[in-house]
Amino acid sequence: MSSVRSPALPLRLARRLAVFLASVLVASVLVFWVGSALPGNVAQVVLGVQATPEAVARLEHDFGLDRPWPVRYLSWLGGLLHGDLGRSYLTGEPVLGQVIPRLGVTGWLVGLAMLLAVLLAVPTGMWAAVRRRHADGFAVSALSQVGLAVPGFWLGILATLLFAVRLGWLPANGYVPLSAGVGGWAAHLVLPVAALALVQASVLTRYVRSATIEVLKENYYRTARAGGWRTVPALLRHGLRNISLPVVTVIGLQLATLLAGAIIIESVFALPGLGRLLLDAVAQRDLMVVQGIVLLLVLAVLTINALVDLSYALLDPRLRAERRGRG
């Protein structure tokens, strides 16, 4: 039996890898096509409105913009395979060199916001489910419903007015690298992380609450309670794995929303992350920078979704059993 099952796992992994690579390829085509279809003329933006048509045509030739679309895409794709995102039309600097310093800012913002959202949503969602027939449980559910309708940037503005302008507890904007000191780094991230995390926590709380209610109806939970387990220990011991499935699913699905929200939050708090760089590049028609950043964001979403898909087998024993039966 083991000799039959062993090749099945590498085959499934190879199939998933093929789907992932195909998704990345399709995404690269769409990113390049949308970037090329944006209105305006890059050479005209670089040279200014007073440039002559001859000068504009000459710069377009230097940029390679006069070549057919498929040729330009294949050239860009060839650079990507070697880790080259191209060069900025405005500065001539490598796009990767502009992205890497800002990647850490966005990475800390998104990572800490998601971690805080999970830490808030799991206990509050479980509490709202256990206490759903009481006033406090209803209040938690109502607050999470309100959080779904509140934009993150609006929370960021209100938090800035209260904690930065009125109370003076935290800086209103800017960023301090971690290497310059943990205190300054953390102080500049508290408000943007909280503004981004609270919206995501509201979404996750609803899913955790629904999943917990389902666990409360299961026979294994009732058996544990009948055996003397208290509510919270019984949930943590016998239901946490089932509760974690919707949380992991929503994290994967909400990553794109979180990244989009990070772009706005970076603008509100003047954080030098990928979002600020992307907005500046769009305003200046620097298409190489736009395409490079968007492709990296898409790649991050696809990677997280692939990891979420693979994690299901670890979280749900029934899926492992089903796959072994098929193997």
Q: What is the pLDDT along the chain (327 residues), one digit of tens a residue?
A: 444 444 455 676 777 788 888 888 888 888 888 777 666 667 777 776 677 778 878 877 777 777 888 888 888 888 888 888 888 887 878 888 888 888 889 989 998 998 998 899 888 888 888 888 888 888 888 888 787 777 787 888 888 888 888 888 888 888 888 888 888 889 989 999 998 888 888 888 888 888 888 877 777 777 777 777 777 777 777 677 777 777 777 777 777 778 888 888 888 888 888 888 888 888 877 888 888 888 888 888 888 877 777 776 666 555 544 444 444
C-alpha–C-alpha distance, residues 131 and 137, integer Å? 5
C-alpha–C-alpha distance, residues 92 and 293, integer Å? 16
C-beta atoms surrounding 304 within 10 Å: 19
Residue with tokens 């998601």: 114
C-alpha–C-alpha distance, residues 267 and 273, integer Å? 9
Where do you find CATH 1.10.3720.10 in the chain? Answer: 102-326
Query: Cα separations (Å) of 172 from 114, 186, 188, 240, 306?
Result: 22, 13, 8, 38, 37
Query: Cα separations (Å) of 175 from 107, 111, 188, 261, 273?
Result: 13, 16, 6, 18, 9
Give the right CATH number for 102-326 from 3.40.190.80, 3.20.20.220, 1.20.1200.10, 1.10.3720.10: 1.10.3720.10
Residue 213: Cβ-neighbour burial (10 angstroms; 0-12, 13-18, 19+): middle
Whole-model pTM: value is: 0.78
Q: Phi/psi zone of residue 84: left (φ > 0), alpha (ψ -120 to 50 degrees), beta?
A: beta
